[in-house]
Amino acid sequence: MNVGAARAIEFSASREVDVVDVDPPAPDRGEVLVETTVSAVSAGTELLAYRGDLDPETAADEALEALSGDLSYPLRYGYSVVGTVAAVGDGVDPSWRGETVFGFNPHEGRFLASTEELQPVPDGIGPETAALFANTETAVNFALDGAPRIGERIAVFGQGVVGLLTTALLSRSPAADVVAVEPRADRRALADALGADATVDPSAVDASEALRDRTGGVDLAVEVSGRPETLETAVEATRFGGRVLVGSWYGTKRAEIGFGDHFHRGRVAVESSQVSTIAPELRGRWDADRRRETAWRELRRLQAEDRIADRLVTDRFDVEEAPAAYRRLADDAEPTVQVLFTY
């Protein structure tokens, strides 16, 4: 099969993006060749790569074969690709050919993967919705780690795509109150549409004070703003014995944070949450397969009840236009939420 070179996105230096040729060979034994339909930009992580805010010595993702290596330039990144299996290697069931699949793979128009690295997209879920799978799995992980209890009050700081999906899932939990904290009006409106009980604009009011006035202090604060200085606000908004779950990856960004009397005397717990692993206390009952099954189920429900892709996908760029796409994201232009690349 000779179909010519496809295109891939490569971060070559801070604020420099190249679009390069990729021409993978025929699939080897146990592999398939995937032709990409769409790939979703994970704005938080990929803007760190675009702006040069990643530690080049950090492993890209030890849990994903497609993201082996470190985060030094030149760097191919991304982990939300949907496409069609175009060819199969020896030892692969021929029924895989023509299957629509999701892959944790960088932005590439064509790539090789083993079947173990791919997720068949369930019937009835379109490619643009399926491209939200990775962020939905992250939101499921936050819900598992946050463990919201009946009657609790929750704040989600940051309403990018992950924050919006987290708000949507937590609003369906037994929690009594879910408040979205976000400076952009368009994203506060989306949070409201996805089930938030209230929204707070931290650029207009003191967010921790507004949350304490409404809730008496939240039981759980989920920090997904991507801004390390927000962590202090989240702590201040949390009641005695409450917990702050940090889902943001700050890269090399730093901020002065003062954890004062409230943090110490209030016994506020600050915990990390990262989708590459299952929390130790859950591993007896949960594994990656169970979490992914849950994410697909929740994504199907979000598609049916909330038209999630219609709400979140605001921009579509041909892969050749990648430099313009990252400039738009870096400019934080309203109403950009989810950017997709098409191939």
Give per-10-residue mean pLDDT for the chain (343 aa): 79 97 95 98 93 84 64 94 98 98 97 97 97 98 97 98 98 97 97 98 98 98 96 97 96 88 94 95 97 98 97 97 96 88 97
Q: Is the pTM of this model over 0.95?
A: no
User: Per the domain annotation, does 291 fall within a domain?
Assistant: no
Res 70: pLDDT: 87
| Percentages (nearest 5) of helix, strand, coil residues in the chain | 35, 25, 40
Q: Distance (Å, rounded) from C-alpha 205 to C-alpha 154?
A: 18
Q: Which of 320, 316, 306 is nearest to 131 (CA)?
A: 316
User: Per the domain annotation, does 295 fall within a domain?
Assistant: no
| One domain for residues 71 and 148 | no
| One domain for residues 117 and 139 | no
| One domain for residues 90 and 142 | no
Res 56: pLDDT: 87
| One domain for residues 275 and 180 | yes
Q: What three-state secondary structure class fits 263?
A: helix
Res 57: pLDDT: 77
User: Per the domain annotation, does 289 fall within a domain?
Assistant: no
| One domain for residues 144 and 213 | yes
Res 66: pLDDT: 56
| One domain for residues 164 and 202 | yes
| One domain for residues 140 and 276 | yes
Q: Which of 130, 138, 132, 105 is nearest to 33 (CA)?
A: 105
Query: What is the domain extent for residue 87?
Result: 6-121+308-342
Res 2: pLDDT: 46
Res 3: pLDDT: 59
| One domain for residues 153 and 276 | yes
**Number of CB atoms found within 10 A of residue 256's CB:** 7
| One domain for residues 276 and 321 | no
| One domain for residues 114 and 139 | no
| One domain for residues 164 and 96 | no
Q: Are 340 and 38 in contact (CB under 8 A)?
A: yes
Of the three residues 280, 298, 324, the one that is the final residue of a domain is 280
CATH code, domain with 193: 3.40.50.720
User: Per the domain annotation, does 97 fall within a domain?
Assistant: yes
Give how far Cα 250 sits from Cα of 41, 230, 282, Å.
Answer: 17, 11, 25
User: Per the domain annotation, does 271 fall within a domain?
Assistant: yes
| One domain for residues 213 and 248 | yes
